Amino acid sequence: MVYSPNLTRFVLERNTPTLIKFMKSLFLLFVCLFPILPFAQKQASFTSIVDQLNNDLVQYEKLFAHGDEYLPINRFDLSKKEMKALIKESDCDAILTNSKDSINQYYMIVYFQERISDQLQLLLNHPDFGKNDIAKMIHDELSVVKSADNKLYNFSLDEKSEGSYRSRFSYMHFTDLKPQDSSEVDPYKIFEGDGYSELFMLNTDEGVKYVLTGNVRGCSSCFETFVQLVSFKDNAFNLDFEYAVNNRGW
C-alpha cells in the first residue's frame, strides 16, 4: 500500500509483505496524528455517518481482487452525483470500459477503502463518539474491538490483496490521547499493523495496562500469533512486553 497524505487517498500495489507493512504503518501514523479539522459547515449526525459507513462496508464486502476484472458501475449503491464524479476521476482505458458503464474491480476496492477510512475518521472525531456503542453499530466487515473502560479501540479491515499474506488495515483510537504536533514521535508506533482480535484491561499497582492479542497469516502455510502488554503515560504508549509465535503448517 502506498499512501499520499496530499491527495488524502491511498493506492494499493501488489508488493512484498515487508513493504506493505511499512506503508501501512505510515497510514496508521496519518490516522493517529492528523485529526479531522473543524467543519466549515454543519456537522453530520453520528447515526448518518454510521449509516454511510455501513453502506460502504456492504459494497466493499462484495468485492474481490481476483474476481471479475470489470463490474457494472450501476451495481454499486452510489448517488448520481457520486457516480458522475467516479466516472470523471477514473476516466482512462485501464479503469473504465469503452462504454464507460463498467469499472475495474480492483480500482473499486481502493475506492471504497478510501471512503471507509474517511467515514471512520469522521466517527472518531465526532463529539457523540463516546455516547454510542460503536462495536454494535458497525457492519462486521470492519472488525471492532475495544477495552472494558471504552478508551482503547482497534478497527481492522481486510485489505483484500488476496495474496498469501492476508494483510489488514488497522486503525487505533485512544480517547485519552491529546493531539500533538505532526513532528512528534508516532504515539502508536508500538502497535501491530494488522490489528487485533481482543483487547483486555488490567488494573495494576502501576495503573491501567492493556493486553492486546491478534494473529495474521503471513504466507500460504505460516501463521503468526502475538500478544502485547502496553501502558499509557505522559500522553504516550509504552510497550511493556510482547511475544509472538510463528507456526508453519495448518
Q: Is the pLDDT of residue 48 over 80?
A: yes
Average pLDDT, the chain: 82
**C-beta of residue 21 within 8 angstroms of C-beta of residue 193:** yes
Please report, as a single letter, which amino acid is at residue 231: S
pLDDT category, 38, cuts 50, 70, 90? very low
Q: How far apart are CA 161 and CA 139, in angstroms?
A: 20
Region of 195 on the Ramachandran plot (φ > 0 left; ψ -120 to 50 alpha; else beta): left
Q: What confidence tens digit (pLDDT) does each residue in 220-247 have? A: 788 889 999 999 998 889 999 999 998 8
**Do 53 and 121 form a contact (C-beta atoms < 8 A)?**
no
Helix (H) / strand (E) element for 199: namely: strand 198-204
The residues facing 199 across adjacent strands are 212
- Note whether 222 and 205 are within 8 A (CB): no
Model confidence at 201: pLDDT above 60: yes
Specify the pTM.
0.79
Average the pLDDT over each of 21-35, 41-55, 62-76, 82-96 and give the range with the smallest value: 21-35
Grid coordinates in use for 105?
Answer: 474491480
**DSSP character string of 79-141:** -HHHHHHHHHHT-STTTB-TTSSEEEHHHHHHHHHHHHHHHHHHHHTSTTGGGS-HHHHS-TT
